[in-house]
Amino acid sequence: MSGVLGAGLSWVDLLFRGRPRAIATGVISGGGTLALVDPGPTTCLETLDLGLQKQGLRLADVTHLLLTHIHLDHAAATGTIVGRYPRIKVLVHERGAPHMAHPEKLIESATRLYGENMDRLWGEFAPVPEENLVVLRGGERIEVGGRSFDVAYTPGHASHHVSYFDSMSGVAFVGDVAGVCIDGGYVLPPTPPPDIDLELWTSSAARIEAWSPRTLFLTHFGPVNDARPHLQALLENLKTFAGFVRTSLAEAGTDEERGQRFAEQIMREFRRQMTEAQLASYRIAAPPELLWLGLARYWRKRSA
């Protein structure tokens, strides 16, 4: 499944774990170049290739990979793609770039979260040669797909998160910093460890809103056309989640038990607001049991 955002702008549904509307890759074509925003995990690489072919494009024609951040659901396929097509340039924030070139610590960290499911979920995370990396800091203007994109540093979800805005179309590719929203449902703040920061996230949302985008493109999932109310809902829900987790830290039990109670709490809320099909996609895009961990780490860092 794919969709059109505008002339030369589209997306491909990666059908992660066989579910539609869980992970999307943005596609920017034109001017003799082809860029992908967040190519996703290597387990979905064949689906990505087929999705591009349905748009009359080829993975072999890709010239740029634009990473919003380096979490495995967004970036794991990057090194594998570059290994096949070594001319590709990879744009990534300066804090994420070293981990793309030398992913051992990233893989070790992710393995602590996903354990024996690592390969089944994400597949290979191959290193990217340093000569292929284009390091971003935020504030740049880049030329891809025959158009200019403004780059903003947008931490909060991840310390190395950037967003890309095309003023000509009004489309902003915002990765996870604008949350998860499937079929117009609940605006979920994804809060896995280790980099959650509420204050930085609030500032990043304001930075995106200042662009006055016509469309926010979310990796999970797809285009949102009412940017301001969407971002307001995101921050309200982030504040609510953070309050739940802060309260839970004073409760009895282990972290695993606290996280499970939090997951059950938000799942009850979700069931009041969405269909079971939507719920299944949310669970895959942002596993509830991981959401508690990132916010718990945030509060514990602040009280240390």
**For residue 231, which amino acid is it?**
L
> In the prediction, which pLDDT does 108 show?
94
- Give percent above pLDDT 90 in the chain: 87
Lowest mean pLDDT among 81-85, 184-188, 272-276, 297-301: 272-276
Q: Average pLDDT of 100-129?
A: 94
Alpha-carbon distance of 144 to 164, in angstroms, equals 11
> In the prediction, which pLDDT does 277 show?
84
* pLDDT class of 153 with cuts at 50, 70, 90: very high
User: Could you give the domains of the chain?
Assistant: 2-303 (3.60.15.10)
Which pTM does this prediction carry? 0.95
Residue written as token pair 């809060």? 191
**For residue 72, which amino acid is it?**
L
Q: Average pLDDT of 180-189?
A: 93
Q: Average pLDDT of 17-36?
A: 95
Lowest mean pLDDT among 1-10, 126-135, 163-172, 253-262: 1-10
Q: Average pLDDT of 112-134?
A: 95
Contacts of 263 (CB under 8 A, 6+ apart): 288, 289, 291, 292
* pLDDT class of 165 with cuts at 50, 70, 90: very high
Residue 281 or residue 198, greater confidence:
198
- Give percent above pLDDT 70 in the chain: 99
| pLDDT(253) > 90 | yes
- Tell me how far CA of residue 95 lies from CA of 161, 268, 293, 294, in angstroms: 9, 37, 22, 19
> In the prediction, which pLDDT does 304 show?
66
Q: Are 48 and 14 in contact (CB under 8 A)?
A: yes
| pLDDT(239) > 90 | yes
Predicted confidence (pLDDT) per residue in 28-68, tens digit? 999 999 999 999 999 999 999 999 999 999 999 999 999 99
Alpha-carbon distance of 138 to 177, in angstroms, equals 15
